[in-house]
Amino acid sequence: MGRNNENPCHNYFDYDATGNTKVYGRHTGEHIKELMLECIFSYGISANHIYSLTTDNGSNMIKSVQLFLDGDEEEEDIDFDELNINNDEEEEELVINELSESIRDVVRGFRLIGKARAAMKALKNQVFMVSIRRSKLKKTILDGKTRWNSTLAMLARLLELREFITEIENSHADLKISEIQRIGIQEICSVLEPARKASVRLQMQQLTIGDFYKLWTSYKMDVEEIDTVFAKAFSVALQTRENLLMDNDIFRSAIYLDPRIKVILSTDERVKAKAYLVNLWQAVHQMRLDRNSNNNSFPHGHAESFIGPLDKFESAMRERENFMVSPAFTIENKRIDHLLENFEGHPRINSTENLLEWWYNARTDMPELFILAEIVHGVPVTQVSVERCFSSLKFVLSAYRNNLTPSILEDILLIRCNEKFEK
């Protein structure tokens, strides 16, 4: 299990790998949550200092985050035995016809993918594989059901092998693909190909929530231009997911503090984002006061009479600091909600501008908002940095170094994945 931190620095993100842990035992949500807590505690970070968590959509990872946020409340499990699932095509069609139009089109799309998968499995026959090789055609591809990009590659290869399949379709039932089915497969490919290109761009490390939204919107516009049934159903699904994103306080507040795209927020969304940012500011302010209070406390095992003159002087200065209000945390003279309202009227900047560099240059004019911007724009949008750290594991744990202990392996990866140690 890998953990990375994302820190905005001037015009780029600085990534800190905080650890890679080999997970022993079951990969349950409860166990993963305990490992996360163990990691942050080892760095002196308390749970209430965590602003956001970025993970994949694995059920165990989602549950670990829910347990992290909500405690150990148990959720009701789904009894899959009660679901009436069968493979009768006629009954499936009756069920599909009762669904809404958009869902019905998506279900038919999945059935086409299943048909293509069956055809590819049939082509794995040794006789067919030899014929494909002799014809100097590209070999067959079988997708992974949880990897949609591999499904796209499988469908595209099936279309490439169309003429070969037509010649041998009578030799195997799964190879019979009608013209209507072939057109349907082409429609699916036309929708997924722009998604593949967008996913490649999402592999960039220097990515803010605003950058993600730009790529998301560009892809959605590409899909809307495709006049097919499946594309329209896919567009509905994209809009549904976007509504969920815009209902997230962290996502919405990052859009609010992005002068490139903040204009997309509705009046209600702006009000909610501003309220969330005000609460965030108050939390940051309180954390700073708590930190100053802790810094003023004496070290364990030392009485005040044993502190030297310089320590007493420093202690007096820190106590004095508590009664002074830092300009960056002024909430009496410059209320943060007023500053946010003024920011709403700030003219929009070009969408190609570097957001982190823009905020860095504006830090002297808007110091309070700059502090908030560092937090909301520091949210990792993807897991790219962690996945790349995992990929580097093969260069460390090889057949010639397979006796490394977990602690040594973690130390090596910690150094390898943090570029600042190389300077």
Instruction: Give pLDDT, residue 71.
Output: 61
Average pLDDT of 152-166? Answer: 91
Average pLDDT of 102-125? Answer: 81
Task: Return the number of other C-beta atoms located less than 10 Å from residue 207's C-beta.
Answer: 19
Kindly provide the residue ranges of all beta strands, DSSP E only, lying in 89-180, ordered along the sequence: none
Condensed to tens digits (0 to 9), the pLDDT of residues 7-21 reads 555 554 454 555 556
Instruction: Give pLDDT, residue 395.
Output: 79
Residue in 191, 189, 200, 210 with CA at minimum distance from that of residue 259: 210
Instruction: Give pLDDT, residue 82.
Output: 40
Going by C-beta distance under 8 Å and a sequence separation of 6 or more, which residues neighbour residue 101? Answer: 233
Task: Return the number of other C-beta atoms located less than 10 Å from residue 25's C-beta.
Answer: 6
Q: Is the pLDDT of residue 98 over 70?
A: no
Q: Are 152 and 192 in contact (CB under 8 A)?
A: yes
Q: Is the pLDDT of residue 334 over 70?
A: no
Place 85 in a pLDDT band, splitting at 50, 70 and 90.
very low
Condensed to tens digits (0 to 9), the pLDDT of residues 231-282 reads 888 888 889 999 999 999 999 999 999 999 999 999 999 999 999 999 898 8
Instruction: Give pLDDT, residue 15.
Output: 46
Domain boundaries, the chain: 2-77+392-422, 91-246, 253-376
